[in-house]
Amino acid sequence: MAGEVNVTVVGNLGADPELRYTQGGVAVVSVNVGSTPRTYNRTTNAWEDGETVWVRCTAWREVAENVAQSLTKGTRVVVTGRLKAPSAYQTASGEARASLELEIEEIGASLRSATAVVTRRAREGGAAVAGGGDQWGDAPKKSVSDAGWANPGTGAGADDTPF
């Protein structure tokens, strides 16, 4: 929609995702993402951490369930979504604070210093397909040797353009 502020945050999860369900049965998950800027101090020749910015992120429906199943405390994530207006509150000690909130559109583990295995969720009634493939589970499996580009000159006529 026009006028919305879309942002991307890269940081670490401060706690395990909190999965809840509304009275209507809709899944909602909340995660806190902390992002700490680092700068290089040339006088001390050392990296210095700045103040951590915490962003409360919320996802709904299937994304919420995927986040709860896939991510844990400390995981480095990349989150994209719509920034909501900050809400002001007071801590138990009377300190005034404001929190940033983000409605998640996309979220995933950062692969900068980690690896991941992606498993697609099947649509209703189907089975999950690991390592890619047809997400609806109804296409026959093909091996690399079945692909036309793997064995040029076989399969369709040799004069056919492969693309």
CATH number of the structural domain spanning residue 96: 2.40.50.140
At 95 the pLDDT is: 82
At 53 the pLDDT is: 86
Q: Are 61 and 122 in the same domain?
A: no
Number of domains in the chain: 2
- pLDDT higher for 23 or 144? 23
- pLDDT for residue 144 is more than 90: no
pLDDT tens digits, 2-34: 667 788 999 999 999 999 998 999 999 999 999
Q: Are 54 and 132 in the same domain?
A: no
Question: Is residue 158 assigned to a domain?
Answer: no
Backbone phi, psi, residue 68, to 5°? -65, -35
Domain that holds residue 78: 5-111
Q: Are 96 and 124 in the same domain?
A: no
- pLDDT for residue 155 is more than 70: no
Tokens 């000690």, residue? 93
Q: Are 71 and 123 in the same domain?
A: no
- pLDDT higher for 158 or 65? 65
Q: Are 91 and 143 in the same domain?
A: no
At 50 the pLDDT is: 87
- Closest by Cα among 32, 39, 37 to 12: 32
Q: What mean pLDDT is predicted for residues 49-76? A: 89
Q: Are 18 and 74 in the same domain?
A: yes
Question: Is residue 160 assigned to a domain?
Answer: no
Tokens 């295995």, residue? 117
Question: Is residue 159 assigned to a domain?
Answer: no
Q: Are 16 and 55 in the same domain?
A: yes
- pLDDT for residue 49 is more than 80: yes
At 79 the pLDDT is: 92
pLDDT tens digits, 84-134: 877 777 778 888 777 778 899 989 888 888 887 877 777 665 554 455 555
- Closest by Cα among 161, 158, 160, 156 to 146: 156
- Per DSSP, the three-state class of 158 is coil
